[in-house]
Amino acid sequence: MNTRYRKTIIAGNWKMNKTATETKKFAEELKPILPKAKRCEVVVCVPACNLSTAVRAFRDMRVSVGAENLYFEKSGAYTGEVSAEMLKDLGVKYVIIGHSERRQLFGETDIIVNKKVHAALEAGLNPIICVGESLEEREMGITLDRITLQVKAALAGVSGDKIRKCVIAYEPIWAIGTGRTATAEQAAEVCNEIRAVIRNMHGARTARSVTIQYGGSMNPSNAEELLAQQDIDGGLIGGAALDPAKFVSIISAANQE
Ligand code: PEP
């Protein structure tokens, strides 16, 4: 983390978990244990149907709400989809784009990710852009090439001032939901490379202002070591973010740095 130049962000990704009732219960349980003074921004990304409940439930806790996806078109005949403008209107601040589950299970390509990033920024949302290599790619020694391509594609055509509004989440696919975490060195190497890619595209000032998270089985016991790395400015957390106590432990680790 480097709080001098950029925001630290601890974000939960609830995936397809929790009903609206359970969302309210989570907020009630979180409230008394959430540290009052936070050196990081706390975000919960929830299923689309629970967004307005979440916006209301977390409002007085200074916890921001994020969506887990959007569609890049503004409106029209796209049954089942939700636009950036609709999210913004609900009071949503962040939106996860290009999560590996969406890339793998729903055919989201780098080109679609780029369109979604543009749509989010145009509506005034902050995209959390996920990038990450598969185990095969890591074993082939092409992790940094894969990540470079994903970052360049996601940010293609985005101006330097808009890139400052983006968060990049490095999420090695082999570490998501597996209990297997990247070592602090592995995560730091890739996050450092992501910043170098942005530096090459838009210069040092823009690159140092971008928040880069690590995601992939982050939990209370490994968060501190991961967050101690210069280029890791927070976490995108799946499983551990569903439990208020574990989520708070990770927030506290970010508060200590
Ligand atoms: C995620 O889904 O973004 C994630 C990091 O999940 P987990 O923490 O469960 O590995």
pLDDT in tens, 98-121: 999 999 999 999 999 999 999 999
Q: Is the pLDDT of residue 123 over 90?
A: yes
Gap between the terminal Cα atoms of the chain: 7
Q: Indicate the length of the chain as a whole number.
A: 257
Pair 251, 25: CB distance under 8 Å: no
Q: Does the beta carbon of 237 lie inside 6 Å of ligand 1?
A: yes
Q: Does the beta carbon of 11 lie inside 6 Å of ligand 1?
A: no
Instruction: Indicate which atom in ligand 1 lies nearest the CA of residue 240.
Output: 8
Q: Is the pLDDT of residue 38 over 80?
A: no
CB-CB neighbours of 184 under 10 Å? 17
CA distance 30 to 34: 6
Per annotation, catalytic residue among 101, 108, 171, 193: 171
pLDDT average, residue stretch 78-85: 98
Looking at ligand 1, which residue's alpha carbon is closest to its atom 1?
238
Q: Does the beta carbon of 176 lie inside 6 Å of ligand 1?
A: yes
For residues 186, 189, 195, 196, the Cα torsion angle rounded to the nearest 10 degrees is -150
pLDDT average, residue stretch 91-100: 98
CB-CB neighbours of 200 under 10 Å? 12
Token pair belonging to 151? 């970052």
For residues 210, 149, 174, 183, the Cα torsion angle rounded to the nearest 10 degrees is -50
Nearest CA-CA partner of 58 in 34, 38, 83:
34
Pair 134, 174: CB distance under 8 Å: yes
Q: Is the pLDDT of residue 37 over 80?
A: no
Q: Is the pLDDT of residue 73 over 90?
A: yes
Q: Does the beta carbon of 238 lie inside 6 Å of ligand 1?
A: yes
- Residue-averaged pLDDT of the chain: 96
What fold does the segment set 8-255 form as a domain?
Answer: TIM Barrel (3.20.20)
Across 34-48, 79-93, 128-142, least confident range: 34-48
pLDDT average, residue stretch 197-222: 96
pLDDT average, residue stretch 186-208: 97
